[in-house]
Structure 1
Amino acid sequence: MSRQLLESQLSAPLPQAPELVLVTDLDGTLLGGATEERRSFYRWLAQQRERVLHVFCTGRDLASIARVLQEDEPIGLAAPHLVISDVGCTVACGCSLAPVPLAVDPIEARWQGVEARLLPLLKGQPGLTEQPLHSERRLAYYVDPEHFDHGLIPQLEAHGVDCLMSDNRYLDLLPAGVNKGSTLMALLEWLEVDRSTVVTAGDTLNDLAMFETGLKGVMVANAEAGLLEHLPRLPSVYLASSEGCSGIAEGLRHFGFDHLWD
């Protein structure tokens, strides 16, 4: 019933029995690597659309994702089946990019009243510049690490948020308990898929929550140093020797999905 409800809120059908559920970050991961390597991987994804259920899992907002799809259409990047955006705070149909109420409404409930409590604390803080995003369930800032007061983070988290720093330059304030991993796990429950078919891929600290789920994961070679530090405690995560799309493909072969290239 949960899968039927999810599909009723989408504008395009999902693969009925996917052999692989591929969950990819965008910047540095699916959008990473040489153009020809990306073109080849995007072509493979398009050919396997009925066998591979593809999910974007990104810090970008929906408007930014729409721009990426338009800009990269010439080299073959197609819309995914589903989107997790805003570092886990939004779930949308991959085709229409329309938010999915089943997934978004519980996150929205956690965010109620939080932003009003946070903004007075954030106003005028040195080392913070607001990112130009269109998101209703998180706050996002660029960080100048030399001037930012890290003592502010526990003050913010006391008001019902989790503070996530990634790539030493991005700060996301998310509803407590909401991240890429938590939202992905909820989505998989609705999809009713075999967890052994799921592979995640990423390159920055905002992908750590995906890797901490225990699902198969691919950390691409260009992963940030802060994420690489966690690798020893992530036994289900494979560190690729290649960057971006080539790293994803390498990881899929490592996990035994070679048959999808036949």
Structure 2
Amino acid sequence: MLVTDLDGTLLEGEREERRRFYAWLASRRDQVLHVFSTGRSLESIAEVLEQDEPTGLHPPHLVIGDVGCTVACGRSLEPLPLALEPIEARWQGLQERLEPLLQGQPGLTLQPRATNRRLAYLVDVEVFDRGLIARLEAAGADCVLSGDRYFDVLPPGVNKGSTLLALLEWLELDGRQVVTAGDSLNDLAMFETGLAGVMVGNAEPDLVAALPRLPMVYRARAQGCAGIAEGLAHFGYGHLLP
């Protein structure tokens, strides 16, 4: 199983590098179970697949979206209810408790797209009150500030890593055959699972700073798709690559 973030990871790199990597994914579809793991909503993922059609990006087998708060079929992008029930239960009633704390906070702009089981903001870090994070966590939420641009308020214990582990258990897959790849702080939870990970060469500095405590994560030199391929070779899958 190859689990890839989108922005800065699978969607990053020279056009020809991406075209070559996407063609490889398509050719190995029966051997490599591909999962998108992204902060994007399902609507936004659908747009990515449509826009990147000229480079040959195919739908994955499965999608983890909304920073771990959504699980869907990759081809139809239809949510998978059984996988979502535990996440829904953690979100139930939480938004109502959090909204008074978030209302009028400087530096936060609610993202225009509808999201599910989370609150997603664009953030201006110059004026953002970082003390808000502790207040939200005391109210029962988890928070992720990534790329100095995105601020996500999530159900407790829900993130890209927790949802991936639940998916592996649901599918009865061996974690030793999983490689994850990412570039931003919302990928940190994936890397903290203990699964093999590839931190691509263009990873944000705050994620790179966590590398010493992530023994199963390989720091690629190459960026984006080329970095994913470099990491796959490092973890012994070079024979599958073109």
* Aligned mate of 1:43, from 9, 12, 23: 23
Aligned to 1:7: none
2:203 partner SS = coil
Provide the secondary structure at the position in 1 that maps to 2:52: helix
Shift, 1:157, TM fit: 1.2
Shift of 1:63: 0.2
Mapped to 2, the partners of 1:122 and 1:112 lie a distance apart of: 17
Instruction: Write the mapping of 1:226-237 to structure 2, written as runs, cut at 5 A.
Output: 226-237=206-217
Counterpart residue number, 1:247: 227
> Per-residue displacement from partner, 1:208-238 (whole Å, max 9, x unpaired)?
0000000000000000000000001111000
Give 1:169 deviation, angstroms. 1.6
Q: Which segments of 5 or more consecutive residues in structure 1 lack a partner in the other structure?
A: 1-20
User: What letter matches 1:80 in structure 2?
Assistant: P
Determine if contact 2:66/2:116 at 8 Å carries over to the other structure.
no
Q: CA deviation at 1:179?
A: 0.2
Determine the structure 1 residue equivalent to 2:101. 121
CA distance in 2, matches of 1:87, 1:148: 21
- Separation in 1, partners of 2:202, 2:227: 9
Displaced runs of 4+ in structure 1, greater than 4 A? none
The percentage of aligned residue pairs carrying the same residue is 69
Q: What is the TM-score with the length of structure 2 in the denominator?
A: 0.98
- Which is further off, 74-83 or 145-154? 145-154
For 1:29 and 1:91, how far apart are their aligned partners in 2?
A: 19
Q: Which amino acid aligns with 1:136?
A: N
2:85 aligned counterpart, secondary structure: helix
- Aligned counterpart in structure 2 of residue 176 of structure 1, from 156, 160, 180: 156
Shift in Å at residue 118 of structure 1?
1.1
User: Quick check: 2:229–2:241 contact (8 Å CA) kept in 1?
Assistant: no
Cα distance in 2 for residues equivalent to 1:213 and 1:92: 21
User: Over aligned residues, Cα RMSD in angstroms?
Assistant: 0.8
For residue 51 of structure 1, give the secondary structure of its aligned residue in structure 2.
coil
Alignment of 1:54-65 (within 5 A): 54-65=34-45
2:200 counterpart of 1:220: yes
Report the TM-score, using the length of structure 1 for normalisation: 0.91
Q: Structure 2: 5+ residue runs without aligned partners?
A: none
Query: 1:128 and 1:73 mapped to 2: Cα distance?
Result: 33
The number of residues matched between the two structures is: 242
- CA distance in structure 2 between the partners assigned to 1:211 and 1:186 by the alignment: 15
Displacement after TM superposition at 1:136 (Å):
2.3
- Displacement of 1:145: 1.0
The residue that corresponds to 2:166 in the other structure is 186
Q: Secondary structure of 2:152's partner?
A: strand
Which residue of 2 is the match for residue 4 of structure 1?
none
Q: Is it true that 1:102 corresponds to 2:82 in the alignment?
A: yes
Please state whether the residue corresponding to 2:16 is helix, strand or coil. helix
Amino acid corresponding to residue 237 of structure 2 in structure 1: F
Structure 1 match to 2:70: 90
